[in-house]
Chain A
Amino acid sequence: MNSRLIFLPLAGIAIAGGPAYATVYLSVEQAQAVLFPGATVQPQPRTLTEEQVKAIEHASGVHVLTKQLKVWRVSAGGWFIVDEVVGKHEYIPFALALDDKGAVKGVEILEYREAYGGQIRDPEWQKQFLGKDASAKLQLGKSIRNISGATLSCKHITDGVERLLVTYELVLKQSGR
């Protein structure tokens, strides 16, 4: 075990740790391969009606952000859905895999571009991002992908999954067979 505390200029760190920076975990295709290995998927996008949106919001208690449902039917049975939730400030895209009975098979976060924890409220912290672009990344030799000290809640993601489970019950279940 070895550790040391160093101090680095904020300009470089801002890009790595702040909203100007996104950690990309998986592409949609990679998430499909991870969640349904070896299966083929068929896109079956839907547009929710006004009534369906109301019914989903009523049953899940979660606000529906968009009527467009990005959904794929899986050859081996089951569904693959890509959706997003609003984190503290940014959209967090995620993929949900449902088995042929509509039970959760897996959740993968696709991208994370949230500012971490409380420092977003700190005006000094926010100031760092003004006028920054991707080229500023070069100021720091290697990017900083992890932050410690501000536990992130995943409640918005579990709420999003809850909403999609209701969406499955009300919209996909009858139509998918």
Chain B
Amino acid sequence: MKRPSLTLLGAALIVLAFSHLQLATPLSLGEQWQAIRQPGDGQIEEMIFLHAHLPRTVLAILLGAAMALSGSLLQQLTLNPLASPMTLGTSAGAWCAIVLGGLLWPGNTIGIEWLALGGSLLSFLLLGALAGWRQLHGLGALLAGTALNLLLGSVAAIAVMMNDQYSRSLLVWGAGDLAQNDWYWVHWVLPRLLPALLVLPLLCRPLQLLQLGSEAAAAAGLNVLRLALVGSLLALWLNGLAISAVGLIGFVSLLAPALARLLGASRPADNMRYAVLIGSITLLLADTLAMYASQWLSDILPSSAAAGLLGAPVLIWLCLRQPLADGVALLSSPGKSRRLLPLTLWLAAGLLILLLCALGSRDAGGAWVLGWPEPAIWSLRWPRLLAACAAGMGLAIAGLILQRLLNNPLSSPDLLGISSGASLGMLAGLLLGSSLSPWLFSAAGAALVLLALCWLAPRQSPARLILLGIGLSSLLEAVLQFVLAQGNNDSFQLLNWLAGSTYHTTAAQAASLFGLVSLLGLITLGTARVLTLLSLGEAHARATGLDVRRARWVLLLLAGLLSLVISSQFGPMAFIGLVLPQLAIKLGARRLGSQLGLATLLGAAMLALADLASRTAFFPNQLPVGALGSLACGSLLLLALLSSPRSRT
């Protein structure tokens, strides 16, 4: 394909910037020119043009460029065509750091951009530890990034919910809107952006070398480590600037460099040049859409939501056509796991934990109590305990199926897109203001995604399906930002649900959830032979006469159903389905049967503990069980990673 010249793109940018300016102001062209040349007679329309619209256009161009460069750098450093601050979870890290910094440590004097840089750096390190530094080019990095997104999102949600009155305005700000009231942010961004740009030309040649692969580049005399360090710091800094100035705006950083590559600009210098222009164009376009829509909608549509609505379909399309290495870091290499303790011992330990969780509580005065509860208290407590246990079991089983099915230890049910479908359905119900139960909407949303997955499953490779899930979850984030940006009571109810609250579960719901999960678990046990065969590799499985395609389809349906029943009740719960099956292997359960049993037990125990903590830790306030469970599983994983230094870091 002959690519359009830079001049053409530049012209498009100018035209777009021009129309972006015209959209909002009633001033004629002559008056605008007059206002820019000789400001000062103080007409209010002129002031709005000069101090709200003009800086908004300029900032959109600057930040679009910064985000695009950040994505381009990350994609070239990781050699992963879908890498970006959004998909790798570093944006979420920055946002989380800003939220925590503002809420837990009010009045701190650290610049917000340093908080953003620190947060994104930490989450980038976490990502490297999770996916393996040499595996960042593969699907594993995206899986780990999505899991991190969910986890950090729930940490931020907990912090926001514990300070709900205060954080209303935080939500409005964090939703990512480009509206300006003077030139402050433009003046703030410029001196922080331009020096960073001076480093870029120095990176072009090393980046070109790196495209040969890091071994070859090292052999050619490149200091790969130094390049990676400088490059990733620069990328995170650029994205952190954008987040500090206007809040979270995703997509641009992913789409601009990817589109640049599609246009044929694959050499580093070319890619960056094209990405800068395309990034500015994309953000301007999204912001134009946002301003236009806000005139017609009764509520304000933030720029980020518009960017998401534009970007998500493109992202899904990119995901489905992008060749991507299926490289994966194994969390536990075989041989290292210890011997499995007898199952009875595990059962006893699990029962003990369950008992502790059922009996532990705080009394009216807040003192700790461990004892048989009154029947009335028990009838309040058991539904949520049972529901939490069922969710933990179901997620562990679904995670196990997916990990065996895809031969990929980083896959987990919350990455399939089913929980995103459930959340989108819930949002649709809220926005439509329907009087029907929101659960109905979330179940319908999840079922739609599951149907699409089942339709796609025989046609696409499993890795593609996961990518589709990632695309869907980013679409969800866009719509979510629109709702949260209103900063009203609905926003908080939604946040609560998204953080995985079991509070509203009734006895009947809990019992039926437990029944369904147990049933699906038993069916999974019945497919043990097929799962074992599949995890030995596809060729091996085919040789034994297994209908691999059909087996895959059935197993996917099974995992999908589990995810559906759980996420339509409690929203997405990150990390639980990812960590627990792996933990079972680490504890010595290598055979499928015992892994299934142990993972299920761990799931029940883990979420029962989360329920206990939710009821008692911040008494009388309660935290969402799902967020606590994800947090616990995420930290377990981190601990496991840190305690077993792998040979190939």
Decide whether A and B are members of one complex: no
